[in-house]
A = this chain, B = another copy of it.
Amino acid sequence: MTHKILVLPGDGIGPEIVAEAVKVLNVFTAEGNLSVELEYANIGGIAYDKEGQPYPDSTRALAQKADAILLGAVGGPQYDALDRPLRPERGLLAIRADLGLFANLRPAILYEELASASTLKPEVVAGLDIMIVRELTGGIYFGQPRGIRVLENGERQGFNSATYTESEIERIARVGFETAMKRNKRLCSVDKANVLEVCELWREIVEKVGKEYPEVELSHMYVDNAAMQLVRAPKQFDVIVTSNLFGDVLSDAAAMLTGSIGMLPSASLNSSACGLYEPIHGSAPDIAGKGIANPLATILSVAMLLRYSLNRPELAERIERAVKTVLASGVRTGDIYTEGDRKVGTAEMGDAVVAAL
């Protein structure tokens, strides 16, 4: 069976890092272990430049037929002056909504070899391994009504709506519990139920779904406390499940605890097996085109792609092991370099992973 993979290199360092990830896929196809058909399309700023839209219809048509999507990154300062609907990040929001990618899995893992990169004390973060399950197609990101209106007194008022239905909460809660079942069976649901009604419903439904997972130890935490606890004692968490906005903030904080966001992949899944896989770091326009970006987060995104969309966990593990081998050998891109390591560029790092495979 041949899997259709849509590759969306995007902006900034996107094309460079995606190229290395594709090298890794090619190892498996060359071995005869995997059959994939790669198609390429535009998203973000480059899509606006070439096709006038951050998520063009041509990309959309390919995305809807793909088994999985590999994305680099979107955005760049040259697009800041565009009208909002045309900006690169709107392409990202559009593809999430279009494909119903409601479950965003964001691991925050501290690699032993990179422990010193964290701004936190080693004993606080050693062995850190959290999975954040973020709802990605609901909440205040997509809630209606929204806009800027003029009130009776002539003043403008900006307004957005944070909404969640029972079924939206139920399906993301289920992903949270299933994820916890595959890990250490602890799930922390983060909300602000002491202030927001939408979170009251969230908590009620998460509790209800929890009844089906008696083995999972479920806890609830307010988002302000969760932000504190991530700084105070992050290792208390196994899996966190939360809304779109809270997940945006907490997953970035959690990623930064590791000190090496150049290492962290993500998966965005829908209710069929199709998923979008991307590094959590951005397009890093300042270093784009220099061949120095770290491709490991994108390579590890391919591992997630193999695990979640292509159901090939053994290939995913091979990639993850290869990355660890490379790190253990002291090979480093600039972002994770410390004295005594061997500093390499993007392509060399990709080659090192290929060699380790």
Asked if B245 and A257 make an inter-chain contact with CB atoms under 8 angstroms apart, the answer reads: no
Smallest distance from the beta carbon of A148 to chain B beta carbons, Å?
5
Smallest distance from the beta carbon of A118 to chain B beta carbons, Å?
8
Asked if B119 and A158 make an inter-chain contact with CB atoms under 8 angstroms apart, the answer reads: no
Asked if B162 and A160 make an inter-chain contact with CB atoms under 8 angstroms apart, the answer reads: yes
Q: How far is the CA of A257 from the CA of B120 in the complex (A)?
A: 10
Q: Which of B156, B164, B196, B199 contacts A201 (CB 8 A)?
A: B156
A165 within 8 A of B: yes
In the complex, what residue of chain B is closest to A202 when comparing beta carbons? B158
Contact with B along A138-175 (1 / 0, CB 8 A): 00110100111001000111111111111100000000
A188 within 8 A of B: no
Q: How far is the CA of A119 from the CA of B141 in the complex (A)?
A: 33
Asked if A158 and B164 make an inter-chain contact with CB atoms under 8 angstroms apart, the answer reads: yes
Q: Which of B146, B165, B232, B245 contacts A155 (CB 8 A)?
A: B165
Across-interface contacts of A230 in B (CB, < 8 A)? 253
The interface residues of chain A, by DSSP majority, are classed as helix
Asked if B256 and A231 make an inter-chain contact with CB atoms under 8 angstroms apart, the answer reads: yes
Given contacts A159-B198, A253-B253, contact A248 B232 (CB under 8 A): no
Q: How far is the CA of A340 from the CA of B136 in the complex (A)?
A: 50
Given contacts A119-B120, A231-B253, contact A197 B148 (CB under 8 A): yes
Q: How far is the CA of A119 from the CA of B233 in the complex (A)?
A: 8
Q: How far is the CA of A248 from the CA of B249 in the complex (A)?
A: 12
Interface residues of A in 70-128 (CB under 8 A from B): 84, 87, 89, 93, 119-121, 124
Identify 17 new A-B residue pairs, CB closer than 8 A, beyond the known A146-B196, A228-B253, A228-B256.
A119-B120, A119-B233, A147-B197, A148-B197, A148-B200, A151-B165, A158-B199, A158-B200, A160-B197, A161-B162, A162-B162, A192-B245, A227-B256, A228-B252, A231-B231, A232-B256, A246-B249
A344 within 8 A of B: no
Contact with B along A223-245 (1 / 0, CB 8 A): 11101101111000000000001
A133 within 8 A of B: no
Asked if B160 and A198 make an inter-chain contact with CB atoms under 8 angstroms apart, the answer reads: yes
> What's the tally of chain A residues with a CB closer than 8 Å to chain B?
59
Which residues from chain A sit less than 8 Å from chain B, CB to CB? 84, 87, 89, 93, 119-121, 124, 140-141, 143, 146-148, 151, 155-167, 192, 194-202, 223-225, 227-228, 230-233, 245-246, 248-253, 255-257, 261
Smallest distance from the beta carbon of A153 to chain B beta carbons, Å?
9
Q: Which of B93, B120, B166, B253 contacts A120 (CB 8 A)?
A: B120
Q: How far is the CA of A261 from the CA of B121 in the complex (A)?
A: 18
Asked if B223 and A148 make an inter-chain contact with CB atoms under 8 angstroms apart, the answer reads: no
Q: How far is the CA of A192 from the CA of B157 in the complex (A)?
A: 16
Given contacts A227-B250, A231-B253, contact A167 B155 (CB under 8 A): yes
Across-interface contacts of A195 in B (CB, < 8 A)? 89, 93, 140-141
Across-interface contacts of A228 in B (CB, < 8 A)? 252-253, 255-256, 261
Smallest distance from the beta carbon of A126 to chain B beta carbons, Å?
12
Given contacts A119-B124, A223-B248, A250-B227, contact A159 B232 (CB under 8 A): no
Given contacts A161-B161, A197-B147, contact A249 B224 (CB under 8 A): yes
Asked if B252 and A227 make an inter-chain contact with CB atoms under 8 angstroms apart, the answer reads: yes
Across-interface contacts of A251 in B (CB, < 8 A)? 224
Across-interface contacts of A157 in B (CB, < 8 A)? 163-166, 201
